[in-house]
Amino acid sequence: MYFTAGPNRGRVGLAGYLIALASELHFITKFFVVARAQSASNEMSNQKEPVMIALGLVRVIEQHSDDLAAELIAKLETSSRTTDLRKVPVEELRRGIQEILRHLGEWLLTKTGRDIEQRYFEIGGRRASQGVALSDFCWSIALTKGHLWEFLQRQGVMGSPIEIYGEMELLRLLDQFFDRALCFAAEGYEQYVPLRNGSDSRAHEARKAAW
């Protein structure tokens, strides 16, 4: 009705209406922006929480690294699947296991694939030079991963869904690490065997020539 009340009344009324509409649209837009930002913040928080729980579990393993190493060595010495590990000096085994467990967070989160390759390729060659069967060596890595899982179960950390998710995240990281370690160690082991066989063959030929 105000459009017919006079030549300017309609324009003023229309301008006021448009201003009110713009203000309302601005409010609605701001509301949705804030709501979306809060949703994103909550989502990021939900994503970070399991990771923080996983990191907390890693710290627990690092704090118990000496006890875990002692338990694992006892398991390796008595398992029928790792009898050849007895060819490795106990102190050498202990140092290697403790070095990984004491710095597990670094190996899982900051060490690169190249770092893991370099470390376990060398260990694989070392075990081959000590006469440890490849199957026994592979089982030693599998038992190490299993031993950490048993330790986490003993801690009784599973509770809320977030805690379970956090533990699953840690298990995923452990699986990824030990799978890589196993493959690189096997490569190092296999790389050493032809070298050893070639060296043995040359030594045998030298002995024959001496005869």
pLDDT digits 0-9 by tens, 81-91: 999 999 999 99
pTM attached to this predicted model = 0.67
Sorting pLDDT into bands at 50, 70 and 90, what band is 158?
Answer: low
How sure is the predictor about 111, in pLDDT bands with cuts at 50, 70 and 90? very high
Instruction: Give the per-residue pLDDT at 85.
Output: 95
Are the C-beta atoms of residues 184 and 143 closer than 8 Å to each other? no
**pLDDT for res 97:** 95
For residue 48, the model assigns a pLDDT of 60
Q: How many of the other CB atoms lie within 10 Å of CB of 120? A: 24
The 8-class DSSP code of residue 84 comes to: G
Please tell me which residue, 176 or 199, carries the higher pLDDT value.
176
> What residue segments make up the domains of the chain, in order of their start?
2-41, 48-210
Query: Within 13 Å and on the Cβ side, how many CA atoms surround 165?
Result: 10
For residue 38, pLDDT over 80 is answered with no
Residue with the larger pLDDT of the pair 124 and 196: 124
Cα–Cα dist 118/95, whole Å: 17
Confidence of residue 119 (pLDDT cuts 50, 70, 90): very high
CATH number 1.20.1530.20 is the correct assignment for the domain at 48-210: no
Q: How many CB atoms lie within 10 A of CB 119?
A: 19
pLDDT band of residue 55 (cuts 50, 70, 90) is confident
pLDDT band at 42 (very low <50, low <70, confident <90, very high): very low
